[in-house]
Amino acid sequence: MITAGQIRMARAFLRWSIEDLANKSGVGVTTIKRMESFDGIPGARVENLQAIKDTFIATKKIKFENESTISVKE
């Protein structure tokens, strides 16, 4: 799964706004804001968490190493 910290880190690296991530992932802005306010794995639908993770992976710039780490590629 993806943690709130990973979402924040990946979005910051890509220089995406919450709106950018929402448009690319199909997950609502309010849902993403709520997810990012958590520590650890957000209490959200698995489908939404997976959609966000898949969106980051599709950039080929973000790789999820484990439950709390991401690797980035420029």
pLDDT tens-digit readout, 17-68 = 999 999 999 999 999 999 999 888 898 999 999 999 999 999 999 998 877 7
State in Å, rounded, how far the first CA of the chain is from the last one: 23
Q: What is the mean pLDDT of the chain?
A: 93
What's the mean pLDDT in 67-73?
Answer: 80
Residue 65 has a pLDDT of 81
Say how far apart CA 61 and CA 42 lie, in whole Å: 23
DSSP states along 6-53: HHHHHHHHHT--HHHHHHHH---HHHHHHHHTSSSS-SS-HHHHHHHH
Q: Which CATH superfamily is domain 4-72 in?
A: lambda repressor-like DNA-binding domains (1.10.260.40)
**Domain coordinates in residue numbering, the chain:** 4-72
